Structure 1
Amino acid sequence: MNDPSPAGERILAAATEIFYTEGIGAVGVDRIAAEAAVTKPTLYAQFGSKANLIAAVLDRRSRDRQAAIESMLADFDGDAEARLLAVFDWLAEGHGKSGFRGCPFINAAVELPDARHPARLVILDYKRWLRTMLTSLASAAGAADPERLGSDLQLLIDGANARVVVEDDRSAMRDARRVASSLLASDLSNRRTSPREA
């Protein structure tokens, strides 16, 4: 998506905050326009529709999240196994921040059941990126089946995010990290003792 104008940036900032804290369906464009100090025609001129605005919000979140995780990993000083688990540590830190209420992509998907909604493609692309990134880290760590392990690790992350929403359990991602460590250790142990590797 193209970078928006200054007015578009204000709209994006307002919509990002309100959609996350109050939900997508509960908030109309009048409220977002008022918070962004723009007129409703300006909002529509910038984004065309509420659906497109939702997609733009999630696209910005996705790009920011990917860049932050990639930057963290680039600066991380540790072996391949530690790098994989560092993703869980980074996410756990986010869980502890005030105002965190789960994964914005899962939250949005729950509110947007229509697979044709423009935001659904953004959500799907982010989740695919996450699984691909975890799979790549699992491969670098020497996993016997990196794709399976990457998928399992994504399930752990999504489950931890869901537990925050349902139970306000801020330790869920730490628990997910513990399970991820066990899965990785088991995978590597099985690979070392495999007859093909002996």
Structure 2
Amino acid sequence: MSPDDGDVNRPRRGRPVDHHIDAALVAAAHAVFAELGWRGTTVERVATRAGVSRASAYRRCESRYGLLMLMMGDIYERVPVADTGTLRGDLVALMEDVARVWRDPAHVRFLAAVVSAQHEDERLSQAYLTQFTQRRAATSVIVQRAAQRGELARPGQGDLLLDMLAGIVAQVVLLRRAPLAPDFAEQVVDALLNGFGTA
């Protein structure tokens, strides 16, 4: 072990987590990402922007993939799961929140980077998959409630319904690079429920 390695490792012993450094790195990472994009976002640049040492930055994120994980936080926190009493109401509320987030260009660029980068780094992929799995479990409650109310003709296809809703947003924003219409949520939900609903 080199002297430098020892200096990097020693502060971990008994030192409490400094959330101020984490917050500074997250803010700096978002700023550098906005200016230089995913490929231009490096640990060194983020450390300099945050005003922290490179050693501190590398302890928290060893690479640009680690930076994405630090930036990611709870990627779904801005999209709550509603309980309006009807399947249509729940899905429209969900998709309105989704559309609001996907109308934010900075958020779209970040999500596109995460989707691309997760194929290059296993830890980032697992971190994203964990969040997605937890989110799917939360949103699945919507279709479970609808099935109990008799609102779904094919209750076993709830995951397919949710996949289609999510896929449409990605198709429009990421692939077509088109804006989401003001009534996007209602249009999409009503179109899908014509095939999934009992009416």
Structure 2 length as normaliser, TM-score? 0.71
Mapped partners of 2:171, 2:39: distance in 1: 19
Alignment-mate amino acid for residue 52 of structure 1: G
Partner of 2:94: 87
Is the counterpart of residue 69 in structure 1 residue 69 in structure 2? no
The one-letter amino acid of 1:69's match is V
Pick one of 92, 108, 122 that aligns with 1:117: 122
Aligned equivalents of 1:20, 1:141: Cα separation in 2: 41
Q: Residue 107 in 1 paired to residue 117 in 2?
A: no
Distance in 2 (CA, whole Å) between partners of 1:127 and 1:41 is: 31
Cα deviation digits, residues 110-154 of structure 1 (max 9, x gap): 13423x521111211222233333322022123244452333333
CA RMSD of aligned residues (A): 3.1
Larger deviation, residues 9-18 vs 103-112: 103-112
Asked if structure 1 preserves the Cα contact closer than 8 Å seen for 2:99 and 2:185, the reply is no
Distance in 2 separating the partners of 1:153 and 1:79: 16
Give matches, 1:154-169, under 5 Å. Answer: 154-169=163-178
- Structure 1 residues 81 and 57 mapped into 2: Cα distance closer, same or farther (>3 Å)? same
Deviating 4+ runs (over 6 angstroms): none
Is 1:152 the equivalent of 2:138? no
1:88, distance to aligned residue in structure 2 (A): 0.3
Residues 135, 150 of structure 1: 8 Å contact kept: yes
Secondary structure of the equivalent of 1:171? coil
Distance 2:45 2:145 in 1: 47
C-alpha change, 1:117 and 1:156, in structure 2 (3 Å) is: same
Alpha-carbon distance in structure 1 between the residues aligned to 2:108 and 2:86: 29
Contact 1:131 1:151 in 2 (8 A): no
Contact 1:81/1:141 (8 A) holds in 2: no
- Structure 1 segments unaligned to the other structure (5+ residues): 191-198
TM-score (norm 1): 0.71
Decide which structure has the larger Cα Rg and report it.
Answer: 2
Q: 2:10 corresponds to which residue?
A: none
Of stretches 76-85 and 8-17 in structure 1, the one that deviates more from structure 2 is 76-85
Matched ranges for 1:47-66 at <5 A: 47-58=61-72, 60-62=73-75, 65-66=76-77
Q: Give the letter for the 1:8 counterpart.
A: D
CA contact (8 A) 1:24 1:108 kept: no
Q: How many residues align?
A: 180
Higher relative contact order (Cα pairs below 8 Å, separated by 6+ residues): 1
- Which region of structure 1 is more displaced relative to structure 2, 14-23 or 160-169? 14-23
